[in-house]
């Protein structure tokens, strides 16, 4: 139960964990032809890369914006030890590496929400 009388200082101390995560905006540079052998293989490599990061506890989530539209841009949330590590993970993603996307990393501070408990378990 939330104590609505709690002071701001106590809120920050007890309910505001300030976990630094990294949001990666996945911006389409050119359309990937998924029907071609090369396009299908690159997409397969992309999924394998994300799933490997997930197994390592570094990918909190990823997916497209506006599913079903031609844009194919998206977002990923990474758990990394530093901005440099997050940047390295983003530039090694196969669609970025192949020039199909431009992955842009931003620091993001997770303060509230259901994901806080999950991130705390992953970080411990």
pLDDT score, position 6: 87
Residue 5: φ, ψ to 5°: -95, -5
pLDDT higher than 90, residue 53: yes
Across the chain, mean pLDDT equals 91
Residue 72: pLDDT over 80 = no
Structural domain spans, the chain: 17-123
Mean pLDDT of 96-118: 94
pTM score of the predicted model: 0.87
**How far, in Å, CA of 76 to CA of 113, rounded?**
17
Q: For 87-106, what is the mean pLDDT?
A: 96
| 17-123 homologous superfamily | Dimeric alpha+beta barrel (3.30.70.1060)
- In this predicted structure, the answer to whether residue 76 has a pLDDT above a threshold of 80 is yes
């Amino acid at each position: 139960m939330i104590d609505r009388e709690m002071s701001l200082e106590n809120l920050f101390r007890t309910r505001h964990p300030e976990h630094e995560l990294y949001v990666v905006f996945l911006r389409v540079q050119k359309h990937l032809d998924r029907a071609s052998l090369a396009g299908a293989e690159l997409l397969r490599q992309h999924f394998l890369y994300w799933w490997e990061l997930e197994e390592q506890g570094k990918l909190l989530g990823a997916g497209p914006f506006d599913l079903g539209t031609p844009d194919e841009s998206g977002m990923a949330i990474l758990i990394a030890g530093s901005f440099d590590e997050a940047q390295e993970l983003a530039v090694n993603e196969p669609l970025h590496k192949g020039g199909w996307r431009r992955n842009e990393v931003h620091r993001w501070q997770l303060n509230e929400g259901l994901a806080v408990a999950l991130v705390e378990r992953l970080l411990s």
